[in-house]
Amino acid sequence: MNVRPASPDDAAELARIHAAMVGVDLTGPWRDRLAQYLRGQLGGDRLGAFVIDAPAGGLAACAIGVVHQGLPGPDHAGVFGQVQTVVTEQPFRRRGYGRAVTRALVEWLTRQGCTLVTLSASDDGAPLYASLGFTPNRRAMRLVGTPYHRA
C-alpha cells in the first residue's frame, strides 16, 4: 500500500470523491469551487491530503484536512486541524486504506503545529476514528449562511 501526499493534479478527483461522500448536488457549482480551492491549496501548509491510487486509475482512498487558528485552550495551543474528508472507494474497503490515509493526515496536521484535531464522524468512520484515539464531542453544532444554501 503506497500512501502519498496529494498534489494539485488530484484536485478534480478529490472534489468528485468529496461530493459523493456529501451525497447531494453532486455536479453543482459548489463542486467546481471545491476543485478550484483544492487546486490552489494542495502542496501548501494550510490544507493537506493523503491518497492511495487505484490500480486502474483514479483514487482508491483519500483523507483531506485543513489547519485553523483558534484560541489557545487548556489542553491545546490554538492551532487545530479539521479532518474534512475520509473516503475509501467501495471495492477497496476493509484493507486498511482508510486507517493509513487518516494516520498520514493526522501526522501531517501534527507537523503543522496542530495540538488538537477535530472531525464529524459518520457511522462508517466512527470505529476507525475511535481506534486512532478520537473521542466523541456530542455538543458539535453548525450554522450554514443562507447565501450558500444549495448554491
Ligand X SMILES: CC(C)(COP(=O)(O)OP(=O)(O)OC[C@H]1O[C@@H](n2cnc3c(N)ncnc32)[C@H](O)[C@@H]1OP(=O)(O)O)[C@@H](O)C(=O)NCCC(=O)NCCS
Q: Given the rule CB under 6 A, which residues bind ligand X?
A: 21, 61, 86-88, 93-99, 121-122, 124-125, 127-128, 131
Residues 6 or more apart whose CB falls under 8 angstroms from that of 56 comprise none
Question: Shortest gap between Cβ of 84 and ligand X (angstroms)?
Answer: 9
Instruction: Please report how close the Cβ of residue 147 comes to ligand X at its closest, in angstroms.
Output: 26
Q: 130 or 151, CB closer to ligand X?
A: 130
Distance in angstroms between the alpha carbons of the first and the last residue of the chain:
37
- How far apart are the C-alpha atoms of 10 and 76, rounded to whole Å? 32
Q: Tell me which residue has its CB nearest to ligand X.
A: 98
Rounded to a whole number of angstroms, the minimum distance from the CB of residue 14 to ligand X is 13
- Pull the grid cell for residue 79: 492551532
Residue closer to ligand X (CB basis): 77 or 132: 132
Closer residue to ligand X, CB minimum distance, 134 or 146:
134
Least separation in angstroms between CB 131 and ligand X = 5
State the Cα angle at 145 between 125 and 84, rounded to 5°. Answer: 20
Helix (H, G, I), strand (E, B) or coil at 37: helix
